[in-house]
Amino acid sequence: VLKELTKKKKKKKKRTVINGGITISHAIKRGLKSVRSLTIRKGYNYKLKEWCFPNLVHLHLSGLLFTEKLEWINSANMPHLRYLIVDSLHFVSDSRLVTVLHEFDESIDVVKDRHGKLTKSNKETEFVNSILQSCPNLLALHYTYNGTTASLSSSFRWSFKPNRSASRKSLHIPSSVEWLFVQNFAEYGIIDVSQCKKLSGLDMDGTSLSSVRFSTDVPQKIGCIAIKYLDKKRGTREEFLSSIENHTQLLLSKDDRIVYDFSKDGSIILTINARSETLSYGNDIRLGLRIDHASRLWFYRNDPDNFASALHALNYRTPRLRPYFHSPLQKEFLFRKIVELANTDIEHVKEYESWFDIELAQWIRFFGVPQEES
């Protein structure tokens, strides 16, 4: 709709709506002020440079094909953007190919190599960095790296192949980000969180342990790091565990859903007289509990009778193969614990809760809970 209206505006800038005498431009701008959440999916080369979303909070870019950066995503056009989701992006080097495909003009043969790659190098990380640099108020980023290049045959059918030639680049996370999810970034780059001032939750899926760059100047107090494949490559694992000692307070192994206590005094996870797990590396040993067990003890922490009952059950019952939660509130265990540990601004917590009310950012609300359980 916006694209069509943009075309009309270019043809006749003073065009008016008959039943109101309001210019289309004015009507669009007035409508854009009410947009809080925007998803752009399965499209080509969006160029909404003329428009701004002054009250936009959430932006989701998915399955898009680009020839250039989105200059309209910036702090001037989206001053209140707080939550960004990026996935399935593709890039091409020649805008003519997109134009031909979009207009279905099969009479123009612009493809010499019927299956040639349209990108010589991967621009995806650079593109995402450009957005992050332009959004100084961002609180949460959910990014799934695509890592493919686009090919177009003479019959104008797109195909996508992994880009093995892409050089490793750093994904620079801005200092304002408090919640970060990154997937499939293992062999393609470095996740640089060294500038993050209050990183509450860092969730890595399909991302290598050595792909994270922490601050070397001062210890970071990350609330919780969640990662898969913790037991793979023992040497790398021990190096990673040693490197996060001064940077995180909790570590969640997503393979077995165990939360380990990395605080200096080991007082975060209640493991006294409870069935606990151990994580050893070098001369250090960290204690942990399965996330559902830890959440139950936390949930009943101010209820002595139920706490004692839950503790007894954890010690003497055969553990379930999958995490089990007695109530929806117990699923929020890590989120509530993390914002407490990170001393998160109360206004930010209220903002997150407003997202949850409209089904946004459920991965933050149920941080660490298996997707099928959330």
Domain ranges across the chain? 1-32
The DSSP secondary-structure symbol of 139 reads -
Quote the pLDDT of residue 338: 94
Report the alpha-carbon distance of residue 83 to residue 354 in Å, rounded.
12
* 335 has pLDDT over 90: yes
Q: What is the pLDDT of residues 62-84, one digit of tens each?
A: 887 766 666 677 788 888 999 99
Predicted confidence at residue 49, as pLDDT, reads 53
Average pLDDT over residues 17-45: 66
What the block records as the tokens of 309 is 């009952």
Of the given ranges (122-136, 139-153, 227-241), which has the lowest mean pLDDT? 227-241
Tokens standing for residue 345: 């601004």
C-alpha distances in Å from residue 327, one per residue of 41, 330, 331: 34, 5, 7
pLDDT at position 135 over 90: no
Structure confidence at residue 320 (pLDDT): 54
Q: Are 252 and 258 in contact (CB under 8 A)?
A: yes
Model confidence at 198: pLDDT above 50: yes
Query: Strand pairing partners for 224?
Result: 201, 250
Dump the DSSP string for 140-206. Answer: EEEEE---EEEEE-TT--EEEEE-TTPPPEEEE--TT--EEEEES-TTTEEEE-TT-SS--EEEEES
**Is residue 90 pLDDT above 90, yes or no?**
no
- SS3 label, residue 222: strand
How many alpha carbons lie under 13 Å from residue 169 in its C-beta half-sphere?
17
Over the chain, what is the mean pLDDT? Answer: 74
Angstrom distance (rounded) from CA 348 to CA 339: 10
How far is it, in rounded angstroms, from Cα 373 to Cα 350?
Answer: 24
SS3 content of the chain, % helix, strand, coil (to 5): 30, 25, 50
